[in-house]
Amino acid sequence: MREMLGFTSILGFIVAFLVFMVMDPSFQLVYICIIFLVNLFIVSFYGLTLFDEKKMEKSGKYPGLTIIVPSYNSEKTIEKCLRHVLAMKYPHVQEVVLVDDGSTDRTREIASQFPVRIMHRKQNKGKAASLNEAIRQAKGELVACVDSDTYPPENLLMDSVPYITPEMGAMTFYITVEKPRTIWQRMQQMEYFFSFGAFPYLGAKFNAVLVTPGPLTIFKRSALEKIGGFDEHNITEDFEMGLKLHKSHYQIGYLPISVPTEVPLHFSGLMRQRIRWYRGTMFNLALYKDLMFNDKYADVGTFSFPVTAAYVPITIVSFFFVLARGARFIYESGLQAAQFATYGQMPSLAFDPLYIRADMLMFLSFLLTYVFFLWISLSLIKEKLGPDKLPGLLMVIFVYPFVNAGFYVYSLYKEMRGSDLQW
């Protein structure tokens, strides 16, 4: 059965490629115009939201808080993580709990040098299971979940907890990349500005933040208990948790406080991470499909969830669209070269102006959207776009869109084939 579904998905991909390959340029222009209008709508909507002067009110309350650090084979990062966690200022940190989820390296040995409570699990059962076990024993009214490769700033708790309102189930933050070294990390740095900066900042203005980022999120323990905690069989527990909170009518707050985290060094690690993310996205969009266009869930149901759901098929279809246009250009150029070699006729150097305008429209559509959100994102944390960010910027403009779409295509293939879900 798996093989049949895998074959069917590959056949569908080939058909999508051939359809775009033989499609008349004028019809292709229609698709490009649709993409352009979608991007224009999103930019306009979020642009208008930018002028919403709604301010978060500070309660001045600092309830008891438990910090949970789930960890598995984290010997390279756990020391730095715990140093940052323990350096955070807060009047009522009731305890710091490290959950060692069956590590086979020196994680527990290193963690034992710090004043934290260590919960040791003999068998690796995953991050969600580790969090649930610690939450059941947590003493604080609030629970801060911090990944073992994340380094929160010392004032994060003091600057955020007073803004958690009774309606909120979670408070989220601006996740950034810790000291990028490779070209792939530099690309992710620019992507994280885009994904964890402007989008959640503007989305929070109308309660439309969908994700509770794994690197660091503060939850209300009562909210977690009410909704049954984390889904231990979900490979993207942070996205599922966000949707689950909204379905239970909790709000998710956001503050632009930079929280550095480690990201994959190389392409292979990035691919493994994104395949998990995108398969989890597809799974959870289907799991929470009743949020779609459901005004019972306010702007989550009428805007942010539908936009996220639409982004997935648009990205996948655009992959084949761009691939087909490139193949068609190579094919026609090859024909002209063969004509010259056979008959001595100079190939026509005239390009179809419609063809060029269509490609430019699609590229400018993406560029306009990215530049708009990047400008907002950098301004939130007063980050400058210096020469050191140029390689990552070029990668995220010219390489990331196609690579990212390819990850989505492969994720869809694995979902249709029913491959085992892996963290």
- Give the residue extent of every domain in the chain: 2-50+302-417, 65-298
The reported pLDDT for the residue numbered 139 is 93
Whether this prediction's pTM lies above 0.95 is answered by no
Say what the pLDDT of residue 356 is.
Answer: 54
Q: Round the average pLDDT of the chain to a whole number and report it.
A: 88
With cut-offs at 50, 70 and 90, classify the pLDDT of residue 7. Answer: very low
- Kindly tell me if the per-residue pLDDT of 216 is higher than 50: yes
- Domain 65-298 has what CATH class? alpha beta
pLDDT exceeds 60 at position 78: yes
Buried b (16+ CB within 10 A) or exposed e, 209-219: bbbbbbbbbbb
Name residue 147's amino acid: D
**pLDDT bracket for residue 69 (50, 70, 90):** very high
In this prediction, residues 181-188 reach a mean pLDDT of 97
Phi, psi of 132 (to 5 degrees): -60, -40
Q: What are the strands, taking DSSP E only, across 223-325?
A: 251-261
Report how far residue 265's alpha carbon sits from residue 274's, in angstroms, rounded to the nearest whole number.
Answer: 13
What's the one-letter identity of residue 49?
T
Rounded CA gap, 342 and 42, in Å?
50
**14 pLDDT more than 90:** no
pLDDT score recorded for residue 345: 61
Please tell me the distance from the alpha carbon of residue 146 to that of residue 322, in angstroms, as a whole number. 39
Residue 49 pLDDT grade (very low, low, confident, very high; cuts 50, 70, 90):
confident
Task: Give the least confident one: 22-36, 59-73, 106-120.
Answer: 22-36
Say what the pLDDT of residue 421 is.
Answer: 65
How confident is the model at residue 6, as a pLDDT? 47
What pLDDT does 98 receive?
98
Strand ranges, E, within 158-315: 168-177, 216-220, 251-261
> 321, 28 in Cβ contact below 8 A?
yes
Question: Among the listed ranges 5-14, 220-229, 245-254, 356-365, which one has the minimum average pLDDT value?
Answer: 5-14
pLDDT range class, residue 130, cuts 50, 70, 90: very high
Lowest mean pLDDT among 75-79, 89-93, 358-362, 410-414: 358-362
Q: What pLDDT score does 422 carry? A: 63
pLDDT tens digits, 227-269: 999 999 999 999 999 999 999 999 999 999 999 999 999 999 9
Q: Indicate whether 172 pLDDT > 90.
A: yes
**Percent over 90 (pLDDT), the chain:** 66
Distance from the Cα of residue 72 to its chain's centroid = 22
Q: What is the mean pLDDT of residues 2-20?
A: 54
Which of 145-149, 191-195, 316-320, 382-386 is predicted with the least confidence, judged by mean pLDDT? 316-320
Residue 322 is predicted with a pLDDT of 79
pLDDT, tens digit (0-9, with 9 covering 90-100), for 303-333: 999 999 999 988 988 888 878 777 777 776 7
Supply the pLDDT for residue 350. Answer: 47
% of residues, the chain, pLDDT over 70: 87
